[in-house]
Chain A
Amino acid sequence: MLVLSRKIGESIIIGDNIEIKVLKIEGGSVKIGVIAPPSVKIYRQEIYKNVAEQNKQAITETPEKLEITYLKEVLKNVDKNR
């Protein structure tokens, strides 16, 4: 891990084309701006992790054998929404 210090308005450059700039520091949080080519995916780390967790949960929690009774109850609720 590289550790360095930056002031407001200063940037770091990663590779040739990714710039990360410190915009604002307030309380315990830092507002940063990222300039990167569209092909670079940028996520808040915990959000990507949460989506991965949710996908795993959807797979493991789903009844092993299609227990139709479960699903039927779910569908009943869906119908109510219509």
Chain B
Amino acid sequence: MYKTRLGEFDLNENEVLFFPEGIPGFESLKKFAIISLEETRPIFWLVSLEDETVALPIIDPWIVEEDYEVELSQNELQILKIEDPNDLVVWCVVTIPIGKPEETTVNLKAPIVINLKNGIGLQVILEKYELKHPIKKV
């Protein structure tokens, strides 16, 4: 049983994700899980299993940006131990300002990339894209 910001969850071994480098700002947190809540879809949640105050709303970036592209470096592929590109999933962090949901932004610059085969995750930083991409059409 894991205590998280979103409540307590019973997770299988293979649902526990390992981020060997943590994520920027939370380098010491290595264990995460992705929680799907029916009522918040298509926003999902990346929750820390080590710090119950940490939960990041995440979204499939292709919903926001149809032509989105993620290019991983040799080193990033090594960390993720990617054998088959089909094992990769990509999420982007959503920032929902309190009281101003219309100003919600998606961080397309630093996607969260996960290898589904082994549960290894990494937040990478791309050359392209914005840190605060507006979620609604301007």
Contacts and interface: CB of A to CB of B under 8 A. Distances in A.
Interface residues of A, number: 31
A39 B136 contact: no
Contacts of A33: none
Q: What are the nearest 8 A-B pairs in CB distance?
A: A52-B25, A77-B136, A52-B24, A38-B75, A73-B101, A51-B24, A55-B25, A70-B101
Contacts of B28: none
A48 B110 CA distance: 9
A71 B97 CA distance: 11
B125 A78 contact: no
Contacts of B95: 54, 57-58, 61-62
Contacts of B135: 74, 77-78, 81
25 contacts: A39-B75, A41-B75, A51-B24, A52-B26, A55-B107, A57-B95, A58-B93, A58-B95, A61-B98, A62-B56, A62-B95, A66-B6, A70-B98, A70-B101, A73-B102, A74-B43, A74-B94, A75-B42, A75-B43, A77-B102, A77-B136, A78-B42, A78-B63, A78-B135, A81-B64
B123 interface: yes
Interface residues of B, number: 42
A82 B42 CA distance: 12
Contacts of A59: 53-56
A51 B125 contact: yes
B96 interface: yes
Interface of A: 38-39, 41, 43, 47-48, 50-59, 61-63, 66, 68, 70-71, 73-75, 77-78, 80-82
B23 interface: yes
Contacts of B64: 78, 81
Q: Among A38, A41, A59, A73, find the residue whose CB has the most chain B CB atoms closer than 10 A.
A: A59
Contacts of A38: 73-75, 78
A22 B61 CA distance: 37
Contact of B107 (A48, A51, A71): A51
Contacts of B57: 58, 62
